[in-house]
Amino acid sequence: MAPSGLGGRASTSVGPWRSSLPPRAQTRPTERTHHGDTVVDPYEWLREKESPEVIAHLEAENAYTEQETAHLAGLRERIFQEIKGRTLETDLSVPTRSGAWWYYGRSVEGRQYGIQCRIPVADPDDWTPPTLPEGGAAPGEQIILDANVEAEGHEFFSLGSFDVSDDGTRLLYGVDVEGDERYTVRVRDLASGVDLDDELVGTAGGAEFSPDGTAIVYTTVDESWRPDTVHLHRVGTSQDDDTVLFHEPDERFWVGAGFTRSRALLLIEAGSSVTSETRLVPADALSEEARIVWPRTDGVEYSVEHRVADGADRLLILHNRDAPDFELVEVPLSDPLGTARVVVAHSSERRLEDVEAFEAVTTVSYRRDGLTRIGLLDPASGDIDEIAFDEPLSTVGWHGNNEWAQPMLRFGYGSLVTPSTVLELDVRSGERFVRKQQPVLGDYDPADYEQFREWATAVDGTRVPISIVRRVGVEGPGPLHLYGYGSYEASMDPSFSIARLSMLDRGVTFAIAHVRGGGELGRHWYEDGKKLHKQNSFSDFVDVADHLIREGWTTPARLVAEGGSAGGLLMGAVANRAPDRFAGILAGVPFVDALTSILDPSLPLTVIEWDEWGDPLHDPEVYAYMKAYSPYENVDPAKRYPRILATTSLNDTRVLYVEPAKWVARLRDAGAPALMKIEMSAGHGGVSGRYNAWRERAEELAWLLDVLELTDTDPA
């Protein structure tokens, strides 16, 4: 069949790609009909991942992109060296106590991956993390896993599950060497450093030892990559003999399992995007039948935390039953369906997100005015003692708090100008300690940068928050890099980035459009950007761009946009909706053939996604709505598109490579200046290894600077 398009040639030729013209995929019409509507898709054949023609086309795309960006080689290298030069390559994390050991990670200059280590606790009453020597091993250090060794011989390497038994004698770790997020779990004897015969294949992330260390609880996925089954493995036996603790037959739900911090209970959780259900099993009797906390009710989400008060076992339940922004209640462990005592009442001014119980203290995480907040909770009164910070924009969250009896609580803090900082709070004295701040080498000074919160008014009158950072002294209208996501109630909170400095120091302002579909302003913010309200996400992003242009921050010729995954859908939609607002669009692993994917329940995770996007297979209204915005369906030859770069990975199981491949082919038909870069041995998260990741980001930033005509600009 002749290739489509003017002046093109098929990309299935044998041999290296060398042409001044872009590769053009052949058109092979495929028809599909739903709800009386017939669609002819010319590029669906690109889905055949094992086809030599498809692989040849993808390789041709890579070669063409390299050809078209060859002039950026020097800039790519400079940016890579800037990232590398600002990063302390030999570094270590703040040790975290677990049992009788302090655990920490080390990175070593020249090595791609981290090294996991531990040293013994000197005093059982000592909860102050030890100060470790820079650039070398600590006295008594034991390396429990060197990912550089494990990654030898593999183009891709990702560490999934990682857990040490409570007695500190065994390690379990999961490895993915394909990028498809299926892990093989192994068990290592830490005294000898030798792996046992146990090998659990095809697992999802999140495997854990039982408290007594004799068993492993893990999860496997079905053919559509949905975690659907929880298993119990007895260490020293064959995987074939493992017991199924729970199987979820409903394709809308995924499952996970883990032990409470108290180590008293195993929680088995099943959840969709809108509904959840938790089962309990005593940790010392894992063969018992799991007991449901609250039976699932459509639209009700809840999570469970074990608490002990006055010698009695209780459950803290965070739920949204008649409480859109969630309410916290407490029930007896013996009778979770009994009368619930309200601990923290629902408030539309505050989105409760998490609660964590320890032996002597309880913490909460929540969101107010679009920003994250944390505090100590008095479960008796419901009072929250919030931990406050001075910056107008920041991100904060509890993390690394494993031990039931610990008196020191750890949390992370950062902003667009403040590097990630690890702090600890002594709950006995109220003292706050800074344990570590992300090193930024060179002459970095937060005072050289300024951050702002702006609000754009959307077309329907909704106020949309914008987080902005730029170098002091930079004035508009100038080059601006606008980022967005807007799905799954995921919030794009303001955080620090070393790589971003290469843009800021060249005079580029960076902004985050907190569009509807995310969770920044509570549950309603999410609900107003999903299913039949999804197009609010797209119009919000365009309205933010218009605000930044109107207020003098930038101009269309100096504005570039970026988003990844579901944010890539956002990029594709705004490219169709308002191509004249942007000089360039970077779409990472973009979900741009949304209608085709969500129509096919045989594809990975599709049925689960119906709660997010709607079910176009059975609902004609959803079908028509999605067809009206799906980027691939709506490429318009009458429009003049900005420069577009799509990045993807061959082994991505979340957003298949075929989506950007088809999208770019159709953009080419419309005359758009589109490029595609595909990693041939990676997954949804891109390449593995920190140096590879830095080079990948340097390539993307160099392309953005090229669009902004700043390739010859030196950093300030």
Rounded distance between C-alpha atoms, residue 404 and residue 56, angstroms: 55
Query: In this structure, are strands 584-588 and 643-649 parallel, antiparallel, or unpaired?
Result: parallel
Rounded distance between C-alpha atoms, residue 230 and residue 193, angstroms: 28
- Return the number of other C-beta atoms located less than 10 Å from residue 643's C-beta: 18
Token pair 């044998």 in the structure block, residue = 14
Burial of 236 (0-12, 13-18, 19+ CB in 10 A): exposed
**Token pair of 675, please?**
């490029």
Token pair 């938790």 in the structure block, residue = 278
Q: Which amino acid is at 9?
A: R
CA distances from 104 to 94, 98, 191, 308, 395 (A): 6, 11, 18, 29, 23
- Please pick, among 161, 303, 565, 649, the residue that the annotation labels catalytic: 565
Our answer to whether residue 565 is catalytic in this structure is yes
- Please pick, among 233, 319, 514, 684, the residue that the annotation labels catalytic: 684
| Of 566, 573, 544, nearest in space to 644 by CA | 573
Token pair 């002597």 in the structure block, residue = 360
Burial of 124 (0-12, 13-18, 19+ CB in 10 A): exposed
- Please pick, among 180, 652, 669, 706, the residue that the annotation labels catalytic: 652
Rounded distance between C-alpha atoms, residue 578 and residue 556, angstroms: 10
Rounded distance between C-alpha atoms, residue 358 and residue 261, angstroms: 7
Query: Cβ distance 114 to 106 under 8 Å?
Result: yes
Our answer to whether residue 618 is catalytic in this structure is no
Our answer to whether residue 71 is catalytic in this structure is no
CA distances from 241 to 231, 256, 557 (A): 10, 20, 63
The number of angstroms, rounded, from the C-alpha of 54 to the middle of its chain's C-alpha atoms is 29
Buried b (16+ CB within 10 A) or exposed e, 526-537: bbbbbbeebbbb
C-alpha torsion 659→660→665→670, nearest 10: 110
Token pair 């041709």 in the structure block, residue = 60
Query: In this structure, are strands 408-414 and 395-398 parallel, antiparallel, or unpaired?
Result: antiparallel
Query: Cβ distance 327 to 352 under 8 Å?
Result: yes
| Of 679, 499, 656, 484, nearest in space to 586 by CA | 484
Query: Cβ distance 249 to 266 under 8 Å?
Result: no
Rounded distance between C-alpha atoms, residue 196 and residue 199, angstroms: 8
Rounded distance between C-alpha atoms, residue 228 and residue 78, angstroms: 46
| Residues paired with residue 173 on neighbouring β-strands, in sequence order | 162, 186
Query: In this structure, are strands 327-332 and 341-344 parallel, antiparallel, or unpaired?
Result: antiparallel
Run of H or E residues at 606: helix 606-613
Query: Cβ distance 534 to 629 under 8 Å?
Result: yes
Decide: helix, strand or coil at residue 68. Answer: helix
Query: Which residues does the annotation mark as catalytic?
Result: 565, 652, 684
